[in-house]
Amino acid sequence: MVDARFTLSALCPVRLAVGGMAAALLVSIQPAAANPAPAGSVIESTAEASYDEGGTTRTVTSNTVEVQVDELLGVAAASLDAGPVTVRSGSQVLSFLVSNEGNGPEELALEVVTAVPGNSFDATLDTVAIDSNSNGVYDPGVDTVLSAPSITSAIPAGGSQHVFVIVLVPGGIGDGSQSSVNLIARTATGTGTPGTTFAGSGENGVDAVVGAGGGQATATGQMIGSASTVTLVKWATVTDPFGGSNPLPGATITYGIELVVTGSAAIDGLTITDSIPTGTQYVANSLTLESTPLTDAADDDAGQASSAGISVTLDPVSGGASRTVTFDVLIEE
């Protein structure tokens, strides 16, 4: 198809000579449209000339020229995440926006690349889904999963689609390790160097022509690993009945246990337990967490204690934080 573009400004009179008579040709010129002409639409143009013949104004019109607009293939892609997404081992959702930059409805073929050069770790692709209810949150069982090959439904010219990429993050990733995931969007009609033409493949049977971007675009989602390690250190101090620190019968041993979480990830499900050593007796109501007394009974606070041992629940503990538990036993006399 012929690519016709008009940049017009006003009615411009042009003086002509027609059969020896003065004539004025009026050319009507309109400003360029802000939105692209729709694919398959028809642009019609007819010229008119007016002239003076013996004091009488005459007009003649040309034939009408019709130009049908071809479909321009274009796509854009962008990550919707505010920055690197903090991840741990397991399932992780990345958000993207793909847009039809062409002038006709177009399906987009989506490809996810997880093995990106420079990655500290590579995730595994699990699912590509469309935000069916447009709430910006991945809803399993609600949002439409795209089966391979992942091709969207037709997106109107100038329209966009929110896409979720669900990946599986491997175990053992280091704290602060980074990984990228690329989403490549391609116009389903075809891609290629700008100007590549797919005859009759556009809207209403017009030709489809690849635009400046080659009919494809890539967006990158980034992840940063969050991992932590837990260390436990125990110590004891002795206070004997005579004000000294000798471990004599009747002396009190205060045990301290410090738990430290090193890294950026919070640790869930943490519980400190300790048995009462043989040859000692638990001192009732001596259990503390961060110097705050805990009751011995199994009630609403974090601890419980008995003659058999102590237990303190610390769930959760943030990365970089520590917790200290203490309790007393009496060396049997």
Indicate the range of 19-23, 264-268, 305-309 predicted with least confidence: 19-23
Kindly report whether the global pTM for this prediction surpasses the value 0.75.
no
Cα separation, 105 vs 90, in Å, equals: 37
Nearest to 274 by CA among 233, 311, 324, 238: 311
Residue 32 has pLDDT above 60, yes or no: no
Which residues, 6+ apart, have CB-to-CB distance to 110 below 8 Å? 98, 128, 146, 150, 151, 152, 163, 183, 184, 185, 186
What's the Cα-to-Cα distance from 122 to each of 170, 173, 276, rounded to whole Å?
8, 10, 46
What is the domain partition of the chain in residue ranges?
A: 11-69, 72-225, 228-331
Cα separation, 295 vs 308, in Å, equals: 15
Length of the chain, in residues: 333
Share of the chain above pLDDT 90, in %: 83
Looking at the domain 228-331, which fold is it?
Immunoglobulin-like (2.60.40)
The predicted pLDDT at position 21 comes to 41
pLDDT (tens digit per residue) in 74-85 = 999 999 999 999
Q: Name residue, tokens 């556009």.
A: 202
Residue 220 has pLDDT above 50, yes or no: yes
Averaged confidence pLDDT in the chain: 90
Half-sphere exposure of 269 (CA within 13 A, CB side): 0
Which residues, 6+ apart, have CB-to-CB distance to 60 below 8 Å? 48, 49, 51
Phi, psi of 205 (to 5 degrees): 80, 5
The predicted pLDDT at position 227 comes to 87
Cα separation, 115 vs 182, in Å, equals: 9
Cα separation, 29 vs 41, in Å, equals: 19
Residue 159 has pLDDT above 60, yes or no: yes
The predicted pLDDT at position 35 comes to 80
Structure tokens at 134: 């447009």
Phi, psi of 211 (to 5 degrees): -85, -165
- CATH number for the domain running over 72-225: 2.60.40.10
Residue 10 amino acid letter: A
Helix ranges, the chain (H): none
Residue 22 has pLDDT above 80, yes or no: no
Quick one: three-class SS letters along 85-107? Answer: EEECCEEEEEEEEEEECCCCCEC
3-state secondary structure of 199: coil
The predicted pLDDT at position 266 comes to 87
The predicted pLDDT at position 8 comes to 35
Cα separation, 175 vs 61, in Å, equals: 77
Cα separation, 102 vs 118, in Å, equals: 33
Which residues, 6+ apart, have CB-to-CB distance to 54 below 8 Å? none
Buried-exposed string 63-94: b where 16+ CB fall within 10 A, e elsewhere: eeeebbbbbbbbbebbbeeeeebebbbeebbb
The predicted pLDDT at position 315 comes to 83
34 pLDDT band, cuts 50/70/90, is low
Cα separation, 225 vs 89, in Å, equals: 8
pLDDT (tens digit per residue) in 288-323 = 999 999 999 999 999 999 999 999 999 899 989 999
pLDDT (tens digit per residue) in 81-124 = 999 999 999 999 999 999 999 999 999 999 999 999 999 999 99
Share of the chain above pLDDT 70, in %: 90
